[in-house]
Structure 1
Amino acid sequence: MNYDIEKINQIVNGDLRAGGGRNRIVHLLTDSRKLIFPAETLFFAIVSHRRNGHDFISSLYERGVRNFVVSRLPGQTVPEDANFIIVRDT
């Protein structure tokens, strides 16, 4: 896969809050423990009965991830250099 954040936003019909540029996306991530290439990763903050992926956004951001698919923006401090695609349900 080799898309940019705007193309992925079109595909998922989301609301893009862009601040991190048109990053090339090569890797999709749903498990924060399996991060390998943060600059080229899109993290899906999946909500399940066991975990809420939104809880891992801050730590992934600290590790270099700048692209996220979320069902809500994280807290009150949204990093200006990150891209968030907001969808109804992750």
Structure 2
Amino acid sequence: MAPDSRSSLDPELRARLLQEAKTPWRGLRRGLWLAFTASAAVGLATMAMRSASGDVVPASDLLIQFGALSLFGLLLWKDRNLSPDIER
């Protein structure tokens, strides 16, 4: 790389490219974590409504939904961007 080629790159673009190199596929991962978290929340809410209406909902099903909600919520929280300067 020529010494002047680094300076010809827009600093904002360079920062975004460096961030993407440090955390590849972050946008896709966060989208998946969000979709899975929302799915678990909808499933848990559905089971809660079924239980409130008098249907029997197995405790194992509730535990699975609660576990999924906790797991994917934690993954979504851990994958957040604390600061652009912090290296992971």
Is the pair's TM-score, using the shorter chain for normalization, greater than 0.5?
Answer: no
The structure in which a higher percent of residues are helix is 2
Q: Could you state the TM-score of these two structures normalised by the residue count of structure 1?
A: 0.21
Q: Could you state the TM-score of these two structures normalised by the residue count of structure 2?
A: 0.22
Ranked by relative contact order (alpha carbons within 8 Å, sequence separation 6 or more), the top structure is 2
The structure in which a higher percent of residues are strand is 1
